[in-house]
Amino acid sequence: MTGPGLVVLEIYSLTYFSPRDEENLFSWLGSVPAVEKIKGEGDSIYLSVATTLGDNDLSELISIFTRYGIDMAQLSVFDDGRFPWLRKKGMFWYEPIFG
Protein backbone atom coordinates (compact mmCIF):
# COMPACT_ATOMS: atom_id res chain seq x y z
CA MET A 1 0.00 0.00 0.00
CA THR A 2 1.38 3.41 -0.83
CA GLY A 3 -1.09 5.73 0.75
CA PRO A 4 -4.24 5.81 2.78
CA GLY A 5 -6.87 3.77 1.04
CA LEU A 6 -4.74 2.92 -2.01
CA VAL A 7 -3.02 -0.19 -3.28
CA VAL A 8 -0.47 -0.04 -6.09
CA LEU A 9 -0.56 -2.86 -8.61
CA GLU A 10 2.19 -3.38 -11.19
CA ILE A 11 1.78 -4.36 -14.81
CA TYR A 12 4.99 -5.40 -16.52
CA SER A 13 6.29 -7.27 -19.56
CA LEU A 14 3.22 -6.67 -21.70
CA THR A 15 3.08 -7.43 -25.37
CA TYR A 16 0.77 -5.24 -27.42
CA PHE A 17 -0.36 -6.64 -30.73
CA SER A 18 -1.19 -3.27 -32.27
CA PRO A 19 -1.23 0.41 -31.29
CA ARG A 20 -4.97 0.12 -30.71
CA ASP A 21 -4.38 -2.81 -28.34
CA GLU A 22 -2.31 -0.50 -26.13
CA GLU A 23 -4.91 2.27 -26.39
CA ASN A 24 -7.64 -0.19 -25.44
CA LEU A 25 -5.75 -1.27 -22.31
CA PHE A 26 -5.37 2.30 -21.08
CA SER A 27 -8.94 3.15 -21.99
CA TRP A 28 -10.25 0.08 -20.15
CA LEU A 29 -8.12 0.79 -17.09
CA GLY A 30 -9.30 4.40 -17.11
CA SER A 31 -12.93 3.31 -17.16
CA VAL A 32 -12.63 1.46 -13.83
CA PRO A 33 -13.79 3.94 -11.16
CA ALA A 34 -11.51 2.49 -8.46
CA VAL A 35 -8.38 3.07 -10.58
CA GLU A 36 -7.33 6.48 -9.32
CA LYS A 37 -3.98 6.82 -11.07
CA ILE A 38 -2.16 5.15 -13.96
CA LYS A 39 1.57 5.83 -14.16
CA GLY A 40 4.10 4.44 -16.59
CA GLU A 41 7.69 4.07 -15.44
CA GLY A 42 10.27 2.19 -17.47
CA ASP A 43 8.73 -1.08 -18.65
CA SER A 44 6.06 -1.03 -15.94
CA ILE A 45 2.64 0.51 -15.49
CA TYR A 46 1.56 1.24 -11.93
CA LEU A 47 -2.11 1.38 -10.97
CA SER A 48 -3.19 3.15 -7.81
CA VAL A 49 -6.42 1.42 -6.86
CA ALA A 50 -8.81 2.50 -4.12
CA THR A 51 -9.17 -0.13 -1.43
CA THR A 52 -12.86 0.80 -1.30
CA LEU A 53 -13.40 -0.74 -4.72
CA GLY A 54 -16.64 -2.58 -5.34
CA ASP A 55 -17.60 -5.87 -6.96
CA ASN A 56 -17.78 -4.40 -10.46
CA ASP A 57 -14.37 -2.75 -10.14
CA LEU A 58 -12.73 -5.98 -8.99
CA SER A 59 -14.48 -7.94 -11.74
CA GLU A 60 -13.15 -5.50 -14.33
CA LEU A 61 -9.62 -5.75 -12.94
CA ILE A 62 -9.83 -9.54 -13.08
CA SER A 63 -11.01 -9.32 -16.69
CA ILE A 64 -8.27 -6.88 -17.68
CA PHE A 65 -5.56 -8.88 -15.94
CA THR A 66 -6.81 -12.08 -17.57
CA ARG A 67 -7.04 -10.55 -21.06
CA TYR A 68 -3.56 -9.04 -20.94
CA GLY A 69 -1.82 -11.87 -19.06
CA ILE A 70 -0.99 -9.68 -16.06
CA ASP A 71 0.15 -11.32 -12.82
CA MET A 72 -3.14 -11.91 -11.02
CA ALA A 73 -1.63 -13.01 -7.69
CA GLN A 74 -1.37 -9.36 -6.69
CA LEU A 75 -5.20 -9.16 -6.73
CA SER A 76 -5.19 -11.31 -3.58
CA VAL A 77 -4.66 -8.05 -1.68
CA PHE A 78 -8.43 -7.55 -2.07
CA ASP A 79 -9.23 -10.87 -0.35
CA ASP A 80 -10.44 -9.17 2.82
CA GLY A 81 -13.84 -10.81 3.22
CA ARG A 82 -15.84 -8.26 1.21
CA PHE A 83 -15.78 -10.43 -1.91
CA PRO A 84 -16.72 -13.99 -0.92
CA TRP A 85 -17.13 -14.87 -4.62
CA LEU A 86 -13.40 -14.27 -5.10
CA ARG A 87 -12.63 -17.46 -3.15
CA LYS A 88 -14.98 -19.62 -5.20
CA LYS A 89 -12.88 -22.60 -6.25
CA GLY A 90 -13.25 -23.68 -9.85
CA MET A 91 -13.69 -20.15 -11.20
CA PHE A 92 -11.20 -19.09 -13.88
CA TRP A 93 -9.57 -16.53 -11.60
CA TYR A 94 -9.08 -18.73 -8.53
CA GLU A 95 -5.82 -20.49 -9.47
CA PRO A 96 -4.14 -17.41 -10.98
CA ILE A 97 -4.91 -15.37 -7.86
CA PHE A 98 -4.49 -17.91 -5.06
CA GLY A 99 -2.32 -20.60 -6.66
Residue range 46-68, pLDDT digits in tens: 999 999 999 999 999 999 999 99
Does pLDDT of 1 surpass 50?
no
Would you list the domain boundaries of the chain?
6-98
Average pLDDT, the chain: 94
Q: pTM of the entire structure?
A: 0.92
Fold of 6-98: Alpha-Beta Plaits (3.30.70)
Average pLDDT rounded to a whole number, residues 18-34: 96
Residue spans of alpha helices (H) in the chain: 19-30, 55-68, 94-98
Does pLDDT of 2 surpass 90?
no
Cα-based angle 49, 55, 57 (whole degrees, multiple of 5): 35
